[in-house]
Amino acid sequence: MPGFGLAKKAAEIYDANPEVEGLLLLNHGHFTFGPTAQKSYDLIVSHTNEVAKYLNLKEPTSYKISEPSRNLSFLPVLRGLIAEETGSAESSMPVFDLRNSADVLDFLKRPDIEELSKRGMASPDHVLRTKGRPLLLRKEIWSSGREAIRVELTKFKNEYRDYFTRNAPNSSEKKIQLKSDPKQAWIEGVGILGIGDNLKSASAAADLVEQNLRVRAVGEDLSGFHPLNEKDMFDCEYWSLEQAKLGKGKPPQFQGKVVMVTGGAGAIGLATAKAFAAKGANCLLVDINQANLEDALAELGPWHKTCCVDVTAKGSANTAVDVAISHFGGLDILVSNAGTAHGGSMLELDDDIFRKAFEMNFFSHKNFAIEVAQVMKNQARPGQLLFNVSKQAVAPGLNLGAYGLPKSATMFLIRQLAMELGDSGIRVNGINADRIRSGLLTDKFISERAKARKLDESTYMAGNLLKLEVEAKHVADVFVSLAGMERTTGHVITVDGGNTSAELR
């Protein structure tokens, strides 16, 4: 381990030969030094290029995240089982980062993959984020279903316990076993996973694992890959100074939760995603406009993803779910928020308008809910479906029948799904909001509705018992609150500033 003894030895060698350019620490790393930071950096580049030339390495290690694929439908099963097998709390779920470059897939075809999986990581620092060994899933295992995967997870858990039991008694101080959940997985024919408490930590693990695959392959093919022995690896993994790198403290409320928000680039959708992200969730924004999605993602920040689809198009729910699985491993919360309003009297609107209204304001909600619920059932862990309904579902507005009718059906959908999914631990709740400035309630639409009620616009927007305008952030806060109500399902909350005609009870 680094420390005072190493510093003394390095000083002795340097005093004997001040021309040395750096340090090579076996089983640890490569360091250079010089009179300036630039000089040290240039030496690192020079040394590395010399080694790359010697080893005939001409291309950089590739880092590629997978394209969405239905072949990944087993990942939610694995995700739920990891949480279950490691005894995690109901609310805790791992997040995956999948890499499947051609180099990764070629490595997983090696005949010695099982032996190489047991060799440990190239550096002790890596052990902290990867546990030193992967969960290895052969194709015949992951393609065989839940119980076959469970057997491999149990085996991994038991082997980690045995590793701890062998090495802990040799330590100078008492050690407490860490959680036995895998932090990396090698999946034959699919790719490698970094596994973490959120996408940031999963991505860090995936970077290390992918880079280490090449180290293993090059080392083994030339003279043998021989990193730390088990005792040294244990000492590093359980060294308090190394553990401190991972940080401590209470995790955010929604850490490990993956949230899909439809209409995610709109005012309510983005506000909702921001509210969940602020409490630790990773979000997938679903919207029809790619440019708006890119702007929204820039506001939301890193470790979130987007999916550009028309939620009314056939197969769009499947596509969005595949993106969520590819980027995160599964889903925990759906905020079905996308919607649009069509104005006009019942006697004037033709059936095409009504059908379009139902496609957006009912069938898109229904289709996304069903696809996401299937993922949640595969995870066999608690989940939640949240719907943005509308006060129109219970209190019709003048010339808004094409909007209110499908919204009424969506409110019934909440109750139906709550009844059918309750025994799977999937809660279903909704919000009846009113008069929120958004892509739905545009300035033009606000003007039209105000005129229909013979009011000025400011009075129309504050037309509630509180005499205050309701904003997108208020809706977002209630979505987050609903997600935290662990014993509430089949419920609809009004977010309208008070509207007696729209009260449910």
Q: CA triplet 298, 299, 303: central angle to 5 degrees?
A: 65
41 in active site: no
Local structure of 260: helix, strand or coil: strand
**115: number of CA atoms within 13 Å, CB side?**
8
| Contact between residue 125 and residue 2 where contact means Cβ atoms under 8 Å apart | no
Q: From the CB of residue 443, how many other CB atoms can be counted at a distance below 10 Å?
A: 9
Q: What is the rounded CA–CA span in Å between residue 505 and residue 503?
A: 6
Q: From the CB of residue 43, how many other CB atoms can be counted at a distance below 10 Å?
A: 17
Q: What is the rounded CA–CA span in Å between residue 418 and residue 490?
A: 5
| Contact between residue 126 and residue 205 where contact means Cβ atoms under 8 Å apart | no
The two tokens of residue 115 are: 């032996």
Q: What is the rounded CA–CA span in Å between residue 406 and residue 65?
A: 38
Secondary structure E strands in 183-332 = 184-187, 191-196, 258-262, 282-287, 305-308
| Contact between residue 61 and residue 103 where contact means Cβ atoms under 8 Å apart | yes
Q: What is the rounded CA–CA span in Å between residue 372 and residue 124?
A: 39
| Contact between residue 297 and residue 287 where contact means Cβ atoms under 8 Å apart | no
Place of tokens 């909440």: 414
Question: Which of 163, 238, 403, 460 is labelled catalytic?
Answer: 403
Q: What is the rounded CA–CA span in Å between residue 86 and residue 77?
A: 14
- As to burial, measured by CB atoms within 10 angstroms (0-12 exposed, 13-18 middle, 19+ buried), residue 135 is buried
Local structure of 88: helix, strand or coil: coil
Nearest one of 425, 307, 417 to 366, comparing CA atoms: 417
| Contact between residue 205 and residue 196 where contact means Cβ atoms under 8 Å apart | yes
Beta strands 95-99 and 191-196 are: antiparallel
Local structure of 41: helix, strand or coil: helix
Catalytic positions, written as ranges:
403
